[in-house]
Each structure stands twice: as C-alpha cells, then as structure tokens.
Amino acid sequence: MWRPPRRLPRPLRRATATATATGPGRRLLLSTPIFYANGPPHIGHLYSALLADALLRHRRLRAAGPARLCTGTDEHGLKIQQAAAAAGTSPAELCERVSGLFRQALTQAGVAYTDFTRTSEPRHQRAVRHFWGALRDAGALYKGSYEGWYCTPEESFLPESQLAERTDAQGRPCKVSVETGHEVHWTKEENYMFRLSAFRDPLQNWLRDNPRAIFPDPFYQGVLRWLDEDLPDLSVSRERSRLQWGIPVPSDPTQTIYVWVDALVNYLSVVGYPESHGAWWPAVHHVVGKDILKFHALYWPALLLAAGLDPPERILVHSHWTVRGQKMSKSLGNVVDPAVCVGQYGVDGFRYFLLRQGVPERDCDYYDEKVVKLVNSELADALGGLLNRSTAPSINPSNTYPRFSEPCFPKVTDSREAEGTGRACAEDYELVAAVASLPAQVDSYFESFQIYKALECIAQCVRQTNGFFQRHRPWKLDRRDAAEQLWLDTILHVTLECLRVYGTLLQPVVPHVADKLLSRLAVGPAERGLSGLTFLARFDGKPCPFEGRQLGPDTGILFHRLGKLETMKKRKQEA
C-alpha cells in the first residue's frame, strides 16, 4: 500500500527560508482565486478581490514587511471549450477577451494587485508540468478507470450524496448538484488518479496543529467533518479526445491535466516555482469563496504535501452575495455588473458597501436601496458632514489645526470625575477612550478577517464624534471671550484628531476618500502609517505635531451623496 511522504507537523519543522519566518519584516503573498474565463466578472469576483486588496493595503500601512497580491484568470477546461464553441470563437480568443474584462474590472475597483496570472501563459504551464512530475516521481499518481457524475460548470466529479433528482427543461428526469443546481452527466474515462485517500491523516494533523489555517472557524470545522467522511482518490486528468483545451499530461498525449490541478498551481507559478518559490512559499494567505473551499482546503494541501511542499499558511473563506434574496444567475437576469456599480456609487462607495456589509460567515444580500442608504449615511453624511462642519471658514476662519487646552479637557482617571473639572463631560471622555483604542481594535479585526467589524467600530466612533460636536455646539461659542475661544479650539482639535484617526484607518477600504480627508487635514504621506499612529497626544501631556499647522486646501465635498434611486436606475438603463 502506497503511503504519502512522511513530514513533520509544521510547527515542529525548522524555518529556514524567509517565507517561513515570523514577526515584522517577513514576506507574505495574498491571493484571490484565479477567475474562470468563461464569462464576465460579477460582484462575487470583486468581493474576493476587495477583501484581499484591503488586507494588502492594511499590511502595507503597518509596514509589516514585503507583500504581494496575486490574481488572474483560469483559462483551461471543458467549460471554456464549450463556451467558445457556443460563441463561435476559439478558446484562446475567448480567454483573451474575458481576461481583459477581469483586468479592467479589478483596476476600476482600485484593486492594487501586483501579479496577474493567466494559466495559458508559458511560465505557468512550465510550472504545472514540473508539479505533475513531482507528483509522479513521488508515486502519488496511478492510471485507472474512473466513472461518476461529472458537473461541467463546476469542473468536478460529484458523489451521490451531493446530488438531487430534478427534471430538465423538457420535463425529463435528471440529476443536479445540490449546492449549485447544475446538471451532472454520467462519465466513464480512463484517467490518472491522485491518491487522495492516503492523505486523511496528514491533512488532519496539519489542521490539528494549525487551528487558524482555515478561517472563519465554521469553515474550519466543516473541513474537519469532510475528513471524517469518505475521501476517495481524485481524478486528475481527462481524456484528450474530450478535452483538448488544457495542458497535456507530460509523456502521455492522450490525457489532459485536470483544470483544477492546473489552476491551483498558479499560486506557485506566480512566485517562481520550481526555482525561486522558497522566498515566498508557504507564507501565503488564500482568499476564496466557500464554493471552492474543498479544492483549496483538501485537494490543494494534499497535492502540495505529495509534491514535497508545505500547505499554505492560511485559507480565508467568505460566503456569497445574493440579489434580493436570490442567487445570482444569468437565467434570472440578476447578475450584478461591477462596472455599473462603480459608475453609480463611485469606486469608494462600491468598495465601502461590499466590505462593510459582507460577512464572511454568511451569505449577504445586495440591492440598490441598501447601498444608497448605507453609503449616504456613513460616508457622505456622518464622515463627510463632520469634516465639512469642523473645517468650515465660519467656525475655523484661520484654517488651522487648533490648539488643545488641557484646563478645558483635563486628564482624569475616571470619566465620572470629569464633572466640574473642566468643560468636557463624561461622554467626551468615553469618546476619547473609544478612539484611543480604535487602532488596536481595527488591527485585530483585520488580522481575524473581520473587516466588516473593523468598519462597524469606525462608524460607531464617527457617530460618537458627531454627537460630541453637536453636544457642545461650537458655532454658538463667542470667540471674543478668551475662555470660550480656548474651548472652541479644543472642540475642533479633538474633532480633527478623531477625523485623522478615521482617515488613517479607512485607507485600506476607501483609499480616495481617505486621501482627500487626510490631505484636508494636512497629514503628509509619511504621517499616514499605522505603526506610528497616535491620538490626542496633548491629552497625555505630549506635543502634537499637527497643532497650529495650516490645513490643506478645501477640495470640496468629501463624498457626494448618491442621488435618488429612480435617477440612478435611469442612468443604469442609459448605460
């Protein structure tokens, strides 16, 4: 009986390469799935990319070490071969066009990817052939007859337990995937098989030793349950007579390498496999949708172990977007085009909505009214309104970062002591405490792949700051009175300090809005990092580098309110 190569559990192995080092300065590769090039992008694709992009931007602001973000298009397989035939074009021409659409959509949404891989590229195909050779040399492959229910849209064989009986459009009985509803067909082929069944123990050991390898936890627990079920060997090639659009199996021109093996290797080819990948691998965080979790959490780690490589450090999983409670599908005509969204809501409005509302653990619902309400409330009104009110010439005629008065806002050990010691009240001290703890909270939520919670905390603090400003009504203060002027300046100083923190923390999510806000506060490029972020230094008796500084130019409204939905729908129809 064949056994997989013996490998020590990851935590016990000595880290020798830069990629396996821990702590500040280590390298990290973030990845999205490479998107299947049989159709144009939708918001589900962009959600994966925006999650990874926000993680990359946050890491860079922390100056945590070199980082890359790879994405791309998966351009082989039967589905593309059939889609090209239906469109009356060649697979190569179809992939060239669709790959361009994905590049355009990612760029329009401000995704700062560093690498874009196409599986049709020679460098990738070379890596796939080498990876296949490593599997073959390890004895992890054998040739055998395989039959089962094959789902072309999912490019995979499905067991009976994942199928349901339905009727097709002609009323004939058929079997479909329970999860996706796609029809399956009985297929019998002679293929190369991967000895997946031999990797149950190694995969269980890997997950037991690395409980944060798959996150959030419900998905981790789901993978553990899969490993308790039947784990049959995996078909990793297709007959060339059925599938010509793919990479031929080395030394066997009658077979084509299975599209998922081909696609997964992109995470290695992008970092120079087989020669120079050690500088980055396995310090890799994959961001994937839950529909492809099995490929990334079972098949991919097993294939890597068989080829003598470590599994990725983390697999970050998210759920799907529905539209008014229904799954997006071409037949329903409810597929949401990200280009239209960017046109309607702006780049930052679109980014903010998806990252603020998207909860990785559960499916989230999209509809236009929801976007308009959220973005207007939190970006245009709460954040933009606060900046506009606190920098208006009528209230800040000198256009400066006002000075803080310690007698007006003395430091106390308990907010209940505040009454009678200055002008600040208990709620004001609660605001200061909340904003002071905000950077650490946000950092923790980004690290735990809960970006939506980070944004929730920021939005709550913005609301508190608006309450602070409204409570003290600085526009009512008489600046001819020296004491009133000190309190007015202190109110503005605290408000601008809060806004500076919010602008800094929002950079990974709404980079254009954050840049505009920070520029208005005259915060320079070198002062926008997270590692040295301070808040209200004068409250702690330390100098504030911004105090007395001339504010930046007023470039207008921070974020324009989105118009009425009827107007937006008209624009959408005209587009």
Which CATH number belongs to the domain containing residue 77 in this structure? 3.40.50.620
| E strands present in 211-267 | 214-215, 234-235, 237-239, 248-249, 252-257
Q: Which two tokens stand for residue 58?
A: 């946050």
- Any domain includes 162: no
Same domain, yes or no, for 288 and 400?
no
Q: Give residues with Cβ within 8 angstroms of 292, minimum separation 6.
A: 33
Alpha-carbon span 490 to 473, nearest angstrom: 12
Q: Of 350, 366, 382, which closes a domain?
A: 366
- Quote the pTM value: 0.90
Same domain, yes or no, for 46 and 118?
yes
Q: Of 346, 366, 386, which closes a domain?
A: 366
Same domain, yes or no, for 286 and 397?
no
Is residue 28 within 8 A of residue 283, CB to CB? The reply is: yes
The CATH number given to whatever domain includes residue 539 is 1.10.730.10
| E strands present in 3-112 | 28-31, 35-36, 67-74
Amino acid making up residue 81: Q
- Any domain includes 97: yes
- Any domain includes 505: yes
Amino acid making up residue 386: L
What mean pLDDT do residues 107-118 have? 97
Res. 535: pLDDT tops 70: yes
- Any domain includes 18: no
Alpha-carbon span 79 to 151, nearest angstrom: 10
pLDDT of residue 333: 78
Q: Which two tokens stand for residue 256?
A: 């084509």
pLDDT of residue 20: 47
Alpha-carbon span 236 to 250, nearest angstrom: 13
Q: Which two tokens stand for residue 131?
A: 């990876």
Same domain, yes or no, for 352 and 470?
no
- Any domain includes 557: no
The more confidently predicted of residues 474 and 9 is 474
Q: Of 314, 337, 366, which closes a domain?
A: 366
pLDDT of residue 24: 60
Alpha-carbon span 163 to 166, nearest angstrom: 10
Same domain, yes or no, for 312 and 346?
yes
Q: What is residue 70's three-state secondary structure?
A: strand
- Any domain includes 299: yes
Boundaries of domain holding 53: 28-139+259-366
Res. 122: pLDDT tops 70: yes
Res. 222: pLDDT tops 50: yes
Alpha-carbon span 267 to 47, nearest angstrom: 19
Same domain, yes or no, for 273 and 383?
no
- Any domain includes 159: no
pLDDT of residue 15: 30
Same domain, yes or no, for 536 and 419?
yes
What mean pLDDT do residues 230-251 have? 92
Same domain, yes or no, for 301 and 318?
yes
Res. 405: pLDDT tops 70: yes
Query: Over the chain, what is the mean pLDDT?
Result: 90
Residues 221-251: b if buried by 16+ CB within 10 A, e if exposed: ebbbeebeeebebbbbbbeeeebebbbbbee
Same domain, yes or no, for 380 and 446?
yes
Res. 419: pLDDT tops 80: no
- Among the residues of 376-450, which ranges form H helices? 385-391, 426-447
Q: Which long-range contacts (CB under 8 A, 24 or more apart) does 408-415 make?
A: 408/486, 408/487, 408/490, 409/490, 409/494, 409/539, 411/539, 411/540, 411/541
- Any domain includes 572: no
Q: Total domain count for the chain?
A: 2
Report the C-alpha dihedral over residues 71, 100, 356, 472, rounded to 10 degrees: 120
Res. 415: pLDDT tops 70: no
Same domain, yes or no, for 441 and 480?
yes
Same domain, yes or no, for 397 and 529?
yes
Same domain, yes or no, for 394 and 520?
yes
Quote the distance between the C-alpha of residue 497 and its chain's center.
Answer: 29
Q: Count the neighbouring beta carbons within 10 Å of the beta carbon of residue 451.
A: 24
